[in-house]
Amino acid sequence: MSDFGGRPSAEELAAFRNRVRRHIAAHAPPSEAREGHRAPETAEQEARLRAWFAALFDAGFVGADWPAEHGGRPDHHPLHDRIVSEEILRARAPRPVEQVNLAAHVLLHFGSEEQKRTLLPRIRRGEHVWCQLLSEPDAGSDIAGVRSRGVRRDDGSWVLDGQKTWITDGHWADMGLALIRTDPTSSRHHGLSVFTVPLSTPGVEVRPIRTIGDAIEVNEVFLTGVVLDADSLIGEVGQGWSIIMAGLDFERFGIGGNVILLELLIEDLVTVARNSQIDGIPALRHTDIQQAVAGLVVEVEVAKAFIDDHVERLIVGADQPGDGSIAKLSFAETYHRVAAYGAGLAATARNSGSNDAHVLRAKERLRECWLWSRAYTISGGSSEMMRNILAKRRLLLPSR
């Protein structure tokens, strides 16, 4: 059974939702969050974003599941997290950085008391944004192929060398959580360790990568003779694989839990179909378009239902291996299909002239979401890898 106390009543949840809405209205940055353009582009945007994250922690809407001594709320319940996530997404406000949640989760579960005491408050104050330094040019799906190496010196300090790639938020993050091979004689998932790396350390070079949507979201990170104190190691030497695997399942559920984004995509799709014309009549009057939209709505409802079901099972301690992979696969593939269909319709249908600004913005968003949609089917583990995990862990199918 789970450790969660009594289920909040419907009235309590409604009151909580109202508090979240008021908080968003009062504290969220003024501009709309854009898919594929989540990282700040100016110092002013960055300051607003950090203040917004700190305000979410302050109000107890984020980090509520942390132990009370680190700022968590004693009355935390997973249904509150669902409400916070839904309301932030529906308001098109910036959502908390997934890599920060992941770092906090790793620190809480595997960090020393000193690491928790010094690093967690900085996350809560918005001072530390974290990135995840896992993937390498030859170690993506096959993360056990990590080659970046760490050598311990006589005084206990470490020297890191290597190359990481596709690092979300690396260009504005303060800290990185790095998976490093510390035993040169080891192979695969043995001999790996996890380090906290301040990105301002000499020898860390971040090279931004411009995305297809003309934004900087991901980066290459080069580590050349990076010297770290002994207390930068998280957990034990050689414990890296189990630390990162625990974190990855958490991350996958975090990505998959963004199902409200699917509802927003459908809203934009319907707006475009209603206000555009094909062959002289509104697109939404064509039977084939009606059928396609209805089919996509069914997929969205299925993805949402899985998340609702998972949360209910989590509450009673009945979550199952592979739930994070189902959530991520279902969200990412549905997102891609809806965005691709919507962007295609937006590109081909003629604007009918009504509600122009509103319709044009919906078209623009569908295009942006379509350009970003492949990021979801790859980052945090590709769809193919999610299917492999499900075949193995959920269906217990034999491996070759």
Ligand X SMILES: Cc1cc2nc3c(=O)[nH]c(=O)nc-3n(C[C@H](O)[C@H](O)[C@H](O)COP(=O)(O)OP(=O)(O)OC[C@H]3O[C@@H](n4cnc5c(N)ncnc54)[C@H](O)[C@@H]3O)c2cc1C
When binding is defined by CB under 6 A, the residue of 140, 198, 208, 213 that contacts ligand X is: 140
Q: Among 87, 251, 263, 368, which one carries the catalytic annotation?
A: 251
Q: Is 141 in the site for ligand X (CB under 6 A)?
A: yes
Number of residues forming the site for ligand X (CB under 6 A): 20
Smallest separation (angstroms) from ligand X to the CB of 308: 27
Q: Is 388 in the site for ligand X (CB under 6 A)?
A: yes
- Residue nearest to ligand X as judged by C-beta position: 140
The two most distant CA atoms of the chain are separated, in Å, by 78
Active site residue 251: yes
Angle between helix axes 287-315 and 323-348 (nearest 10 degrees) is 160
Helix ranges (DSSP H) in the chain = 10-27, 43-58, 78-90, 98-110, 113-124, 240-256, 260-274, 287-315, 323-348, 356-378, 383-389
Q: Is 119 in the site for ligand X (CB under 6 A)?
A: no
Cβ nearer to ligand X, comparing 141 with 291: 141
Listed ranges 26-34, 84-92, 139-147, 276-284: which one lies at the site for ligand X (CB under 6 A): 139-147
Cβ nearer to ligand X, comparing 180 with 349: 180
Q: Is 134 in the site for ligand X (CB under 6 A)?
A: yes
Smallest separation (angstroms) from ligand X to the CB of 240: 13
Judged by CB under 6 A, the chain residues 189 through 218 that form the site for ligand X are 218
Residues 150-179: x where in contact with ligand X by CB under 6 A, - otherwise, as a string: ----------------xxx-----------
For the chain, first and last CA: distance in Å?
35
When binding is defined by CB under 6 A, the residue of 101, 132, 196, 275 that contacts ligand X is: 132
Cβ nearer to ligand X, comparing 142 with 231: 142
Question: Looking at this protein, which amino acid is placed at residue 178?
Answer: A
How many angstroms separate the Cα of 304 from the Cα of each of 77, 239, 325, 334? 19, 35, 14, 11
Strands 130-133 and 175-181: parallel
Handedness of CA 31, 200, 209, 330 (dihedral sign): negative
* DSSP per residue, 327-396: HHHHHHHHHHHHHHHHHHHHHHSEE-STTHHHHHHHHHHHHHHHHHHHHHHHTTS-HHHHHHHIIIIIS-
Listed ranges 58-66, 226-234, 326-334, 374-382: which one lies at the site for ligand X (CB under 6 A): 374-382
Smallest separation (angstroms) from ligand X to the CB of 148: 11
Residues near ligand X, by CB under 6 A: 99, 131-132, 134-135, 140-142, 166-168, 218, 375, 378-379, 381-382, 384-385, 388
The residues that are catalytic are 251
